[in-house]
Amino acid sequence: MSDPLSQMIQLLRPRAVFSKEISGAGAWAVRYAAFGQPGFCAVTEGRCRLAVEGEAPVILEEGDFVLLAATP
């Protein structure tokens, strides 16, 4: 039996519009223009800080997954 979040994601039938692997070290940043679609990221190695305008920054570590209702 799967968990409720997995069931909801299966019902939504998500698909990738585009994807891109990002890697870096030291002080760097990535900024995206809003495109009105849900977005996600998975941290596969290391850690980073996710800063979404209007929200408190969050530290993400290896194994973390983030699902955004719309890419800000």
| 37-61 per-position pLDDT tens digit | 888 888 989 999 999 888 899 999 9
pLDDT at 58: 95
Count structural domains, the chain. 1
| Strands (DSSP E) found in 28-68 | 39-42, 47-50, 58-61, 65-68
Q: For residue 1, is pLDDT > 60? A: no
pLDDT at 27: 86
pLDDT at 56: 95
Classify 41 as helix, strand or coil. strand
pLDDT at 61: 95
**Structural domain harbouring 13:** 4-68
